[in-house]
């Protein structure tokens, strides 16, 4: 009998300001066929935001600060190793770069990490759900941008952003 297992994951779109550009890390999974955003399963007792921060560090080598939620995507797939279907939901967060380097990613989970301009990232992503998350990130950055950098109207988000860049 085939079973359906439910799984929750989290990931992020990390904004790395370089000059007047915003770069984002994209990962290539082993095998090289899939390019996506860093993401992974929530661990016991972990919030979505905590998992997104951890996964960004493990899969891309960067530490980021969560600014806000971008949205959730859901999909199903066949897990060959478990011989079961998996119904997965992935919550994504907009994040701001704090530290790190793509040289520090986990080679057991990721084949490659590359930094690309935010406006080009969507064209490189494999799956439509993550393309939609990148569109949401671009809209939020556009909404938050003024004078080439972000201005935040939401007080809690502004406080987190101010603390991150101070």
- What confidence score (pLDDT) does residue 72 get? 97
- What confidence score (pLDDT) does residue 151 get? 47
Distance of alpha carbon 113 from alpha carbon 38, whole angstroms: 9
Helix (H) or strand (E) holding 30: none
100-136 pLDDT, tens per residue? 988 777 677 888 999 999 999 999 999 999 999 999 9
18-44 pLDDT, tens per residue? 887 889 999 998 887 899 999 999 999
Q: What percent of the chain has pLDDT over 70?
A: 84
Nearest to 160 by CA among 58, 40, 32, 66: 66
Residues 44, 125 contacting (CB under 8 angstroms): no
pTM of this prediction?
0.84
69 pLDDT higher than 90: yes
Domains of the chain: 4-165 (3.90.79.10)
92 pLDDT higher than 80: yes
Residues 95, 140 contacting (CB under 8 angstroms): no
């Amino acid at each position: 009998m085939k079973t359906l297992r439910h799984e929750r994951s989290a990931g992020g779109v990390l904004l790395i300001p370089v000059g007047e550009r915003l770069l984002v890390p994209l990962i290539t999974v082993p095998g090289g066929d899939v390019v996506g955003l860093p993401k992974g399963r929530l661990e016991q007792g972990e919030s979505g935001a905590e998992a997104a921060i951890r996964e960004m560090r493990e899969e891309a080598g960067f530490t980021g600060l969560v600014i806000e939620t971008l949205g959730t995507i859901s999909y199903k797939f066949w897990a060959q190793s478990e011989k079961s279907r998996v119904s997965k939901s992935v919550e994504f967060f907009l994040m701001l770069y704090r530290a790190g380097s793509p040289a520090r990613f986990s080679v057991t989970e990721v084949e490659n990490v590359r930094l690309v301009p935010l406006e080009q990232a969507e064209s490189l992503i494999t799956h439509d759900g993550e393309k939609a998350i990148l569109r949401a990130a671009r809209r939020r950055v556009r909404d938050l941008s003024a004078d080439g950098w972000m201005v935040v109207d939401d007080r809690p988000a502004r406080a987190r952003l101010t603390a991150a860049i101070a």
